[in-house]
Each structure stands twice: as structure tokens, then as C-alpha cells.
Amino acid sequence: MAMQLMTPRWRKIHALVVVIAALSVQACAPTRPPVEDLDNASRALGAARSAGAPAYAPAEYRAAGQRFDQAQAAEGRQDYDEAIQLAHESAADSELAAAKARLGKAREAVQKLSQENANLDRDLTEHASPEAQP
């Protein structure tokens, strides 16, 4: 009779031990190599370079490159969690650099158009006929 009272407790303890062991094994299991994450970061870095980030957003572009290099080094050490995190940071820095490059190019285009408009206004004013002027 005493044995029957202990059986449910033993089952609960046994189930708890199994759950804890499973969680421990899962926590210690290696993460997958971050091949896709590194590929995405590499593509984002290339897109930032193509957008002109080295000229328009050099700090952000440099940070993206450094994080990408660190991600590759972490992958080499098989520290996949760190590699994934660094690859994501590199991609984010690359996107920021590309956006800043697009903004810089747009500002230059606006500046160029403003200068052209000012030149046209000056030319119109200088070449206006005397009878058109009040």
C-alpha cells in the first residue's frame, strides 16, 4: 500500500527529470551554421557598396564590414549564435549605409537642380528685353 502512494510522486519526479534533461540537451545542442544569414549580410553589404555607401556613409559602411568580418570569424569558431547576431547587425548597418547613400545622392541632385534653376533665373533676368522690364 505504501508503494502505491509513492508511485504517482515517482512518476512526477521522473517526468520532471526527463523534461529538465531534454531542455538541457536542447540548450547545449549546436545552432545551425549561419550560412543563409551570412549570405544575406554579404548581399546587403554589396548593395550598400553599389549604392555609394563608401562615399556617402563611410562610418556605417565600415561598421557593416567589420561586423561581417566578425560574423565570419565567429562562424569559424563555430560560435553560431554570435555569428548569426553579428550577421544581422552587419545587414542592418549595410541597409542604413545604403539609405544614407541614397539620401546623399538625392541631396546632391536637389542641389544641382537648385543651382541650374538659379542659373536660368539669372540668365532670364540678364537677357530680358528692355520693353519687357517695367
Is 1 part of any domain?
no
The reported pLDDT for the residue numbered 89 is: 97
pLDDT cut 70: percent of the chain above it: 73
The reported pLDDT for the residue numbered 10 is: 65
78: domain range? 32-117
pLDDT cut 90: percent of the chain above it: 63
The reported pLDDT for the residue numbered 1 is: 46
Is 16 part of any domain?
no
pLDDT digits (tens, 9 = 90+) for 2-47: 445 456 666 666 666 666 766 665 555 456 889 999 999 999 999 9
Is 2 part of any domain?
no
Is 87 part of any domain?
yes
Is 25 part of any domain?
no
Is 95 part of any domain?
yes
Q: What are phi and psi of 127, to 5 degrees?
A: -100, 10
Is 24 part of any domain?
no
Instruction: Read off the pTM.
Output: 0.67
The reported pLDDT for the residue numbered 124 is: 87
Residue 119 has pLDDT above 70, yes or no: yes
pLDDT (mean) for 82-97 = 97
Mean pLDDT of the chain: 85
Domain total of the chain: 1
The reported pLDDT for the residue numbered 134 is: 55
Distance CA 41, CA 105 (A): 23
Is 62 part of any domain?
yes
The domain that holds 54 is classified in CATH as: 1.20.1270
The reported pLDDT for the residue numbered 73 is: 97
Distance CA 34, CA 83 (A): 7
Residue tagged 531534454 (cell numbers): 22
